[in-house]
Chains A and B, each alone.
Chain A
């Protein structure tokens, strides 16, 4: 494992979308980890902290908020981009309060735009 290769953790419960994101990111010089739910994301964070977290909010077992709470509690500083299809103010404000760097709506972007967003934080 090269040291300068950045590590991106993608937490997304939809297998198809997760695959698409992985495909887009993998075209670039980054290491991609995936998690299918909040718990898996927490496990990865604790074991192998990422340089960037792409996080869905609605996920089984524990949701994205639990992941954000953990990051806050552990005073972890890696940037987080929330990729959700929820766009109500309530969620956006809550994420803001939990130190989220950017909030994007998945359906309002194309697959390759994921990289445009991620690149800013690497």
Chain B
């Protein structure tokens, strides 16, 4: 019905409606397009939103990280502050320490300077000449006495070789080479024979030298030499020798008269009492002559120029000669002498000095062996060395005193009776003579059993 009404209403309206519809369709289509556009836009917006959300999340994460970092930085800053403060304190302390140290260094330097000045004063004041050299023999240091006695100034000799600056000569003026200079030193560091130093002006003087190594840790870094002008000592030695020579001559002249008179009297017919007196007096004068001889020999041996006079010596003959000198003593004391010596044993040595040694050893053996005892003298050669031993069955030397045997004037406490009187110079002399002939003396001894003295020397 409605549709019929409308048809009826008018065709105009219908057209109008159609246009309206068309317009509406157009609007609808536009709306669809817009809707489509909007839909697209919404889609884009959704994507953008999603992206933004992602970015936001990332930002949140970054922010968290930054927050953490900030926290860490805050901690570090705090720590740094602590360190800084500590450093400030330390710097203050260091400043104080430095100041203290500087003060101490100054004080120590002053002390060292004082010690150095003192040492230099000590070195300068040493009356003996002093020179230190490096391992090359170059002079490192000299003292005032060195300058004074040799005429060289310190600055002229430092760094130069000692052997070139100060020539050393022997008693007859031969200059020693650097290697020879080293050889003249004895194990204890002092010179064995008299040597001379030549001054800058060419004159010479006798010196006594002591040399010691300078070591740093275990390393030898040089030597220090102390020397003394021994001119005075030489003069004293000469005067002593001269005095000994004159004194001994003056003593010997009257002694000869006494000895000869008594020896002559001994051969006369005398009463027993007279004979006893004369024999004793003669023996005493003989002992006195021996003492004088020994004192002269010691005086000679103590001079540093004692040298052996080497010659071919037949030991068999020499032993026989020396033992014969003591035959009377041997018989008188009821002793037995047993000699073991190869026939014709030739050696090159100083006969007189060897006689002195044997004379002493045999005389001691007889002196300190009680009646009925035995003295054994053995001579032998082994590996270029001659060995002579004199063994007795005598009173021996107390163990505690054995070390003192080579001493001058030493006498063992168990032989103090006047009948065995001795001077204590015999063995001292024997040790010294043995040294001169390049030999050694050794002994074994047991109290109340006996002693064996052995001389060992090169053949």
Residues of A within 8 A of B (CB): 14, 16-17, 20, 23, 58, 85-89, 105-108, 110-112
Contacts and interface: CB of A to CB of B under 8 A. Distances in A.
21 contacts: A14-B253, A14-B257, A17-B256, A17-B260, A20-B257, A20-B260, A20-B261, A20-B264, A85-B252, A86-B245, A88-B241, A88-B296, A105-B252, A106-B256, A107-B255, A107-B289, A107-B292, A110-B259, A111-B260, A111-B263, A112-B264
Contacts of B290: 108
A97 B245 CA distance: 21
Contacts of B292: 107
A14 B264 CA distance: 17
A86 to B, nearest CB: 6
Given A85-B248, A85-B256, A107-B252, 16 more contacts: A14-B253, A14-B257, A16-B257, A17-B257, A20-B261, A87-B248, A89-B300, A105-B252, A106-B252, A106-B256, A107-B255, A107-B259, A108-B290, A108-B293, A110-B263, A111-B259
A23 B264 CA distance: 10
Given A105-B293, A107-B292, A85 B260 contact: no
A101 B296 CA distance: 23
Nearest to A83: B256
Nearest to A111: B260
A34 to B, nearest CB: 16
Nearest to B282: A110
A85 to B, nearest CB: 4
A105 B253 CA distance: 10
A86 B260 contact: no
B382 interface: no
B293 A87 contact: yes
B289 A108 contact: yes
Contact of A58 (B249, B255, B264, B296): B249
Interface centre among A86, A87, A89, A110, by most chain B C-beta atoms within 10 angstroms, is A110
A20 B252 CA distance: 16
A20 B264 CA distance: 9
A97 to B, nearest CB: 14
Contacts of A20: 257, 260-261, 264
B263 A112 contact: yes
A20 B257 CA distance: 9
A106 B300 CA distance: 20
B267 interface: yes
A15 to B, nearest CB: 10
A87 B298 CA distance: 13
Nearest to B288: A107
Contacts of B255: 107
Interface in B218-272: 241, 245, 248-249, 252-253, 255-257, 259-261, 263-264, 267
Contacts of A106: 252, 256
Contacts of A16: 257
Contacts of B248: 85, 87
Contact of B249 (A17, A85, A89): A85
Contacts of A112: 263-264, 267
A17 B252 CA distance: 12
Contact of A107 (B241, B245, B256, B267): B256
**Across the A-B interface, the 7 shortest Cβ-Cβ residue pairs:** A85-B252, A110-B263, A111-B260, A107-B252, A106-B256, A107-B289, A107-B256
B302 to A, nearest CB: 14
A15 B168 CA distance: 52
A84 to B, nearest CB: 8
Nearest to B263: A110
A89 B249 CA distance: 14
Nearest to A106: B256
A111 B264 contact: yes
A39 to B, nearest CB: 21
Nearest to B257: A16
Nearest to A57: B249
Listed residue (A14, A20, A23, A107) with the most chain B CB atoms within 10 angstroms of its CB: A107
A110 B253 CA distance: 13
A14 B249 CA distance: 13
Contacts of A107: 252-253, 255-256, 259, 289, 292
- Of B260, B263, B300, most buried by chain A (CB within 10 Å of CB) is B260
A67 B241 CA distance: 26
A16 B257 CA distance: 7
